[in-house]
Structures are given as structure tokens and as C-alpha cells.
Structure 1
Amino acid sequence: MPKARKMLSDWKAPYMQSLMKLIETQSKETLSYWAIEYAQQVILPLWCKYYPHDQRPQNALKAAREWLSGEIKLPQAKPVILECHAAAREAEGNPVAQASARAIGQSASTIHSARHCIGLAFYGAVAVAYEQLGKDAPWIQIEQCAAQECGRMEAALRDVAVKDEHNPAKINWKC
């Protein structure tokens, strides 16, 4: 049985390119709100299904929200977000939970760098696909399901996108 892939990896896939183009039109704040909200509503329940008592992903989202509202500074949020990444490493063997924690950690990390919001798609879409299809489903099916989830993510970003944003994030995708 092949090992489950941890994330999507095709930067050039049409669904990924479409999402990236929209991301490039928005400010870091808009991208942060979008990624955090989507992770909270769609991805966090996947984590909680498998690790209901581990609050590290919830804490990361909370810290990111507190940073956005000005309640805390980045040095206070960063260690809380890094704990979410630790939760992902510890969930090895559970591809749904691991991808969920990674997606949440990347979403929360958007407060630091707008580029991190793409982690919501690369990890979160895989988490959803593994949850719906199972970790043993053929990769082509996982990727098709993940592509549909990326479409829902893009629609959610379109719903909150600022038309003619005057301060779009400057993103170097390094891909």
C-alpha cells in the first residue's frame, strides 16, 4: 500500500493557478481573514474529529485572530502557531489530521507572510479529500476531490475579496 501524500504539489494545475491569481489581488489582511475563517469552519472540524482534546490548532487560529485585532504582537502569536505545526508532525500516520493541522498552521501563519495562505489549499484540500474518499483512494481521485475543494476555497475568497484592492500583497511564490 503506497504511503499517503501529505499535500497537493502541482503549482501549475488550473485550479491552483486560478486561486493564486485571485490571492495576488488581495491584501495580507484580507488573505489572513479568509484563510483563518475557512480553516476554522471547514478544516478544524476534521482535526477535532481525530484529536478532540488537542487544542493547538484552535489556539493557533485564536492567536492569529488576536493579532489581526491588535490584541497581541507577532512574537506572542508565533510560538502558538508553531505549536500547531508540532501537532501536525505528531499526527503522522493520520493523513486527514496531519494535513488539517498543517493547513491550519499555514492559515494562521498568513499573519506573518501572505504567501502562507496557499498552504490552506495545498494541505486543506487534501485533508478534505482524504476525509471524503479515504487514504487508500487512488491519487487521481484524491486530486479531483481536492481540486473541487480548492474551487470552494476560491469562491470563499471571492466572497470577501476587496474589489480594486489598493494594497495587494506582494507574493513571490518561489515555484
Structure 2
Amino acid sequence: MVSQNTGGSYYLLVKKYSREDQMAMATWAADCAERVLPLFEGAYPEDDRPCNAIETCRTWVRTGVFTMAGIRGSSLGAHAAARDAKENDAACFAARAAGQAVATAHVPQHAYGAAYYALKAVAAADPANAGVTVAAEWDWQAGRLPEGLREEIMSRIVVQERGSRVSVKLRKGEGF
């Protein structure tokens, strides 16, 4: 992000995406979240908040119509489900992925968060094999992005192996 001083006020400048790119990012984010949704649903089968968030995202992509209250409510609902699942890291991260996916309708950069949390969910679901499963999921995510967005987005989602541990980071900075 770049800050700009305009008469004593600072504003953060973030990259603007075209409507087409934002829709593609939202579809991708929903796909990423949906892949890990079973990690949440298996642990909390009665809680449909993350599923509803993904469906709200897909409805926006299909129709192009949303209300801020609807998007915000779906996102906050999925994040509340994540907080309720705090004792189960994989389920918690899966719910967060859904909350980030639907928020892409408001701010395109939330798509990055959906992929980031999906990778964290995969790592938490199988810590003994996290290096392999996270690498495979990262490759899947990269392959699903339109070519024009792939390098920019995936270069910000950093996976590092440190001994037997896998770390997933979201590199923010200029334009994010």
C-alpha cells in the first residue's frame, strides 16, 4: 500500500481491479473456500454459515447484484463460525476462507485471504503431511487463476517449510 498525504490526511492507495478481474477473483476465492469447506462441515454439520457465505459469493458473481448488508452479514457470519470453531484449527481456517471469499465482492483483495486460509486449513488438517498437501493445494489454486492474475496473486501467498513445520504467509505491501 502507498500512503498519500493530501492536506494533512493520509489515504491508503490499493490496486484497483477491473470488474471482470474482481468477478474472476471472487469465483476463484469461492472455489478455494469450497475445497476446504468439508473440514468445517465434518466438525460442525449443523452450522451453515460458511456454506452460506460461499453461496452468497457465487450469487453475486452470477447476478452482479449485492447489498453491502448481505455481503457483510455473510462474511461476518462465516468469521463468527470460525471463532466458534477455535478448538479445531482446520475447521476454523476453512470458515475464515469462506468469510474472505464473500468479502471479495466488496474488496477484491479479500480473495487472497480465501486462498491463504484454505492453505492454512489444509496444513492444519494433516500436519504430518502438510508440506505435500499444501504444495498440491497451492498448485491447484495457481492453476485455477486466470493467467493475467496468477503471478501477481500467487506471489503474495508464501509457503515455507521449516523442518517439519509448514508456514503460510500472506505478503502484503504496495498495491494490496
Q: In which range does the TM-score fall when normalised by the shorter chain?
A: 0.5 to 0.7
Asked whether the equivalents of residues 59 and 81 of structure 1 are also in contact (C-alpha less than 8 Å), the reply is no
1:70 CA displacement: 3.4
Q: In structure 1, what is the Cα distance between the partners aligned to 2:48 and 2:118?
A: 18
Q: TM-score, normalised by structure 2?
A: 0.67
Based on CA coordinates, which of the two structures has the bigger radius of gyration? 2
% same residue: 31
In structure 2, C-alpha distance between the alignment counterparts of 1:80 and 1:43, rounded to whole Å: 17
Alpha-carbon distance in 2 for matches of 1:30, 1:143? 28
Gaps of 5+ in 2: 1-16, 157-170
Aligned match of 2:135 in 127, 136, 147? 147
Instruction: Indicate the larger mover: 113-122 or 91-100.
Output: 113-122
Residue 44 of structure 2 aligns with which residue? 51
Structure 1 alignment gaps of length 5 or more: 1-23
Distance 1:28 1:70 in 2: 11
Match of 2:172 in 1: 173
Matches for 1:123-138 after TM superposition, within 5 Å: 123-131=117-125, 133-134=126-127, 137=128
Query: Which residue is 1:29 aligned to?
Result: 23
Letter in 1 for 2:130: I
Q: CA RMSD in A?
A: 3.0
Q: CA deviation at 1:98?
A: 0.5
Correspondence 1:74-153 to 2 at 5 A: 74-131=68-125, 133-134=126-127, 137=128, 142-153=130-141
Verify the 8 A CA contact 1:67 1:74 in the aligned structure 2.
no
What is the Cα deviation at residue 145 of structure 1?
Answer: 3.1
Pick closer, same or farther for the CA change 1:37–1:144 going to 2, 3 Å: closer
Matched to 2:72, the amino acid is K
Higher helix share: 1
Deviation at 1:65, TM superposition (A): 2.1
Structure-2 change in CA distance of 1:164 and 1:120 (3 Å):
closer
Comparing 119-128 with 141-150, greater Cα deviation is found at: 141-150
Structure 1 contact 60–105 (Cα < 8 Å) conserved: yes
Structure 1 partner of 2:53: 60
Distance of aligned partners of 1:164 and 1:174 in 2 relative to their CA distance in 1, 3 Å threshold: closer
Size of the alignment, in residue pairs? 138
The equivalent of 1:3 in structure 2 is none
Q: Say if 1:102 and 1:123, in contact at 8 Å, map to a contact too.
A: yes
Alpha carbons of 1:66 and 1:121: their partners in 2 closer, same or farther (altered >3 Å)?
Answer: closer
